[in-house]
Amino acid sequence: MTNKAPIGVFDSGVGGLTVVKEIMNQLPGEDIIYFGDTARLPYGSKSKKTVITYTRQIVRFLMNKDVKAIVIACNTASALALETVKSEVDIPIIGVVEPGAKVAASTTINGRIGVIGTEGTIQSGVYNEILSKTNPNVEVFGKACPLFVPLVEEGLIDDPVTCEMAKRYINELLKKNIDTLVLGCTHYPLLRKTIRKVVGEDIVLVNPAYETAKALSEVLTEKGLRNDSTPKLNHKFYVSDGAEKFRQFANSILPCEVMETKDINIEELG
Ligand code: DGL
């Protein structure tokens, strides 16, 4: 495997672009191939079996593009499928749960950590497992926030409705006296400002997207796969539906311009 090969990144839709943004900032010499499963979103309310099936198809699709490493940018797929697919590929594959959880476990002072995410992520208990393994003294309080994803997708990022929902979801965690809150879903870093208003200044917000890009950088360096300069970057974006809508969203959050997004049939190709 050459270090010139691209990095494969995927998510259930647009949310994983928050991870792509961090990868572009921290690893500016790397080419990225992104797949957003926009036709089958959301993953957050689907069963483990279904999320594993989808993840396997996408991993196969990315492997066929000769990627040197894969990032599962989706918290739900990381929580439900990473453990299973990890043993099925021979390139590094990392999810977003472990990097975020490890930082939260070492950041907390009072040992009380809140985790917000989709129903699938929270019910899986994976954050809880990794947090407790990293720091046995922590107590973890999870809360599913199912309306956050559609609110972000509707563009209601800085909106009174979103603020009201954030209060309803997060107040329960504030009552538990948490000092650290993990934004355990791809879309939540986009709600950071609103969440900050609700939690106040004293709670540490952990952004798994940022921590994952850091973890990726470490893995690539360790394996001798890191590429610090590509003469002409050629990122590629694929989705399973709504290529144009995706392209517009991508251009609103990425530091580079996305000229083209391709629609593909993942069930046929993957
Ligand atoms: N990408 C998902 C996650 O991070 C959120 C959207 C969905 O439910 O598919 O959990």
Instruction: Say how many Å lie between the CA of residue 119 and the centre of ligand 1.
Output: 9
Q: Is 74 a catalytic residue?
A: yes
**What is the pLDDT averaged over residues 36-52?**
97
CA dist., res. 47 & res. 64, Å (int): 26
Residue entry with tokens 């909106």: 159
Catalytic residue among 145, 163, 185, 256: 185
Residues in a beta bridge with 194: none
Residue 106: burial class (beta carbons within 10 Å; 0-12, 13-18, 19+): exposed
Task: Tell me whether the CATH fold assigned to 7-95+210-269 matches the one assigned to 98-208.
Answer: yes
DSSP letter (8 states) at residue 6: P
CA dist., res. 242 & res. 38, Å (int): 7
The torsion angles phi and psi of 225, rounded to 5 degrees, stand at: -110, 0
Residues at CB less than 6 angstroms from ligand 1: 11-12, 15, 41-44, 74-76, 117-118, 121, 149, 185-187
**Percent with pLDDT over 70 in the chain:** 100
Q: Which CATH class is domain 98-208?
A: alpha beta
pLDDT at 2: 87
Contact indicator for 247, 237 with CB cutoff of 8 Å: yes
Residue 28: burial class (beta carbons within 10 Å; 0-12, 13-18, 19+): middle
Q: Where residue 270 falls among pLDDT bands split at 50, 70, 90?
A: low
Task: Considering only residues 70 and 259, tell me which one the structure prediction assigns the higher pLDDT.
Answer: 70
Q: Where residue 155 falls among pLDDT bands split at 50, 70, 90?
A: confident
pLDDT at 34: 98
Q: Is 185 a catalytic residue?
A: yes
Q: Where residue 229 falls among pLDDT bands split at 50, 70, 90?
A: confident
Instruction: Say how many Å lie between the CA of residue 16 and the centre of ligand 1.
Output: 8
Instruction: Say how many Å lie between the CA of residue 75 and the centre of ligand 1.
Output: 6
Instruction: Say how many Å lie between the CA of residue 188 and the centre of ligand 1.
Output: 10
CA dist., res. 222 & res. 4, Å (int): 15
**Mean pLDDT of all residues belonging to the chain:** 96
Q: Which among 9, 10, 11, 145 is the best mutation to test ligand 1's pocket, defined by most ligand atoms within 8 Å of the CB? A: 11
Where do the structural domains in the chain lie, given as residue ranges?
7-95+210-269, 98-208
Compute the CA torsion angle 265, 267, 268, 270 (nearest 10 deg): 100
186 CA closest ligand 1 atom index: 4
Total-model pTM: 0.96
Q: Where residue 232 falls among pLDDT bands split at 50, 70, 90?
A: confident
CATH architecture, domain defined by 7-95+210-269 = 3-Layer(aba) Sandwich (3.40)
**What is the pLDDT averaged over residues 168-173?**
97
Q: Which CA distances in Å does 248 have to 34, 82, 116? A: 15, 29, 27
